Amino acid sequence: MYGLMQDHPLLISSLIRHAAANHGGREVVSRLVDGSIHRTNYATIELRARRLAHALTSRGIRLGDRIATLAWNTHRHVECFYGVSGMGAVLHTVNPRLFHEQIEYIIRHAEDRILFFDADLLPIVESIAPQIGCVEHFVVLCERAQVPKSELLQLAAYEDWIAAAGEDYAWPQFDERTASSLCYTSGTTGNPKGVLYSHRSTLIHALAASQRDGFALSSLDSVMPIAPLFHANGWSLPYACPMVGAKMVLPGNRMDAASLYELISGERVSFSVGVPTIWTMLLAYTGEKGLQLDALERCLVAGTALPPAVQKALKDLHGVTAIHAWGMTETSPIGTLSTPTPEVLALPEDQREAELLKQGRVPYGAEIQVRDAEGRVAPKDGQTFGPLWIRGPWIASGYFKGEGGKVLDADGWFPTGDVATWDELGFMKITDRTKDVIKSGGEWISSIDVENAAMSHPKVALAAAVAAFHPKWDERPVLVIVPKDGQELSRDELLEFLAPKMAKWWLPDDVVFVREMPMTATGKILKAKLREQYWHRLE
């Protein structure tokens, strides 16, 4: 017997239709590439997205065709999220910070038929254009007068495209399991692999993200995604904000502290998301200028662990609650969030703060497991390290075009590549990437814990702990440090500082001071390069 309920597919177009109908006047504010501030609303976004869908259809784009964007966080990019996916094509968000060879590879691999891009990214597009013959149209996300000159490409203006399209386009209905968007991983080894999301997975994920134990979003919020829209569905905010009717504030391509602060303050941003370096930068800027993040109530932090000192400063100096989260491109991206439970709030203050520094607990819909060395489910003791596995309706089941082969185990669990612990309260803590954990004498040392301890030193700007070969213990930690500007720091001073913060056998065997760290295109420390560089340092 089936229930007597209406059966409507979960489609991305329903989000923007809902926002236009029920929150049509809510603002969407963008800083454009030229630095100007643009204001629109959800009703206009929905209209322009329908025009875009009409323009794509008239050019022969069909269900399942891939359409690429190489763009910053602006209202036009949001329109692509809805115009492309809403008509049944697949939105492929490309990271402009990748190496040009990687951008070229993923556009060819995706077989993108159209490329939408911001005007300041023309040099990238021209450099890869001869190698991406699959692209039929190059469309600049601007007005005709702002289209840059190109001797190599025939460029069209986005505004011309949608102006010529009619308003009578009706959003089509199709299977909710249809592919909606495509995002490639930014792995440090091998070619990037494509994660192909569905309409169904995207909407279920946005529902989970919006809940009180997630982002806690509502129409009362002003939300600024500092994390780029080309990262894992923009951390769901292009979908969750229209879902609840929250104001959106989009910072464009200006990621400096002054520009971000101007928008946070001027647009009364109450919630934002970004990697730890963003918040470290904003803390330094507001401290130097004597400013307050007075409207900001909470921020979500992921990508790498947030140093405890930064979390404490945000709360003590600005009243901002920093929420740790963990996820990856393959998890849409939310995997866990460190929001409190009654049991956590009942803990003594120091234990409560330590618990909320972990990567958190799973929202409904996802499941996690930590497994021990024998592959069994590890005890929830907060101590046993092991590989982290995850499954759920917004977790990848494989990669686009079968790259990487079969990835799930027999029970449908996805291997995250992270090493973690979990505790009796259900809180998970990432201790390392599988490839970054330091194996010393048969025991594991968490490079992240060593780094966090080092980052709490007032003279340390950046820290990375990597394994070096040791003839007796197989591997031992070497700590690579970037001191803060103008600060002098010695090896002995730092090791003396670290000694009471960790087990004696965890203490690094050596400390190396450098001016800068090698970084990936997504702002993470390139540990593979550091391991290669310092692998023989202890011989």
pLDDT digits (tens, 9 = 90+) for 249-277: 999 999 999 999 999 999 999 999 998 88
Query: DSSP state, 146?
Result: G
Q: Strand, coil or helix: what is 144?
A: helix
Q: List the beta bridge partners of residue 519.
A: 525
Would you kindly state where each structural domain of the chain is located, as residue ranges?
A: 12-29+39-198, 438-534
For the segment(s) 12-29+39-198, the CATH number from 3.40.640.10, 3.90.950.10, 3.40.50.12780, 3.10.129.10 is 3.40.50.12780
pLDDT digits (tens, 9 = 90+) for 476-494: 999 999 999 999 999 999 9
pLDDT score recorded for residue 118:
98
The C-alpha atoms of residue 136 and residue 368 are separated, in whole angstroms, by: 42
User: Considering the entire predicted model, what is its pTM?
Assistant: 0.87
The span from the CA of 72 to the CA of 116, in Å, is 11
Q: How far apart are alpha carbons 448 and 444 in whole angstroms? A: 12
Catalytic residue among 444, 520, 529, 535: 444
Active site residue 330: yes
Which amino acid is it at 145? A
pLDDT of 97 above 90: no
Distances (CA, A) of 305 to 227, 230, 234, 310: 15, 21, 19, 10
Same fold, 12-29+39-198 and 438-534: no
| 201/528: higher pLDDT | 201
In the structure, what pLDDT confidence band is assigned to residue 187 with cuts at 50, 70 and 90?
low
Distances (CA, A) of 248 to 93, 171, 237, 243, 315: 19, 23, 9, 12, 23
Question: Crossing angle, helix 276-289 and helix 257-266, to 10 degrees?
Answer: 80
pLDDT(435) > 90: no
Give me the CATH code for the 438-534 domain, please. 3.30.300.30
Q: Is 526 exposed, middle or buried (0-12, 13-18, 19+ CB in 10 A)?
A: middle
Residue 316: pLDDT band (50, 70, 90) is very high
Per-residue pLDDT tens over the stretch 62-84? 999 999 999 999 999 999 999 99
Catalytic residue among 289, 435, 439, 484: 439
pLDDT at 510 over 80: yes
Stretch 514-532: mean pLDDT, rounded? 85
The answer to whether 439 is a known catalytic residue is yes
Give the per-residue pLDDT at 385. 84
Using CB atoms within 10 A of its CB, is residue 167 exposed (0-12), middle (13-18) or buried (19+)?
exposed
Identified catalytic residue from 185, 331, 431, 522: 185
Q: What is the largest CA-CA distance in the chain?
A: 74
- The CA distance from 265 to 282, in Å, is 12
Confidence of residue 434 (pLDDT cuts 50, 70, 90): confident
Q: Which listed residue (46, 330, 355, 475) is catalytic? A: 330
Q: State mean pLDDT over 116-127.
A: 98
- Cross-strand bridge partners of residue 179: 198
High-pLDDT (> 90) share of the chain, %: 84
Kindly report the average pLDDT of the chain as a whole number: 94
Identify the pLDDT of residue 306: 82
Q: State how far the Cα of 161 lies from the Cα of 260, in Å rounded to an integer.
A: 31
Q: In 3D, which of 198, 205, 168 has the Cα closest to residue 181?
A: 198
Higher pLDDT, 76 or 440: 76
pLDDT of residue 522: 67
Residues 224, 218 contacting (CB under 8 angstroms): no
The set of residues, in sequence order, having a beta carbon less than 8 Å from that of 106 and lying 6+ positions away, is 92, 94, 98, 184, 192, 194
Torsion 34-36-42-43 (CA) sign: negative
Q: Looking up tokens 């963003």, which residue turns up?
A: 278
| Kind and range of the H or E run holding 432 | strand 428-433
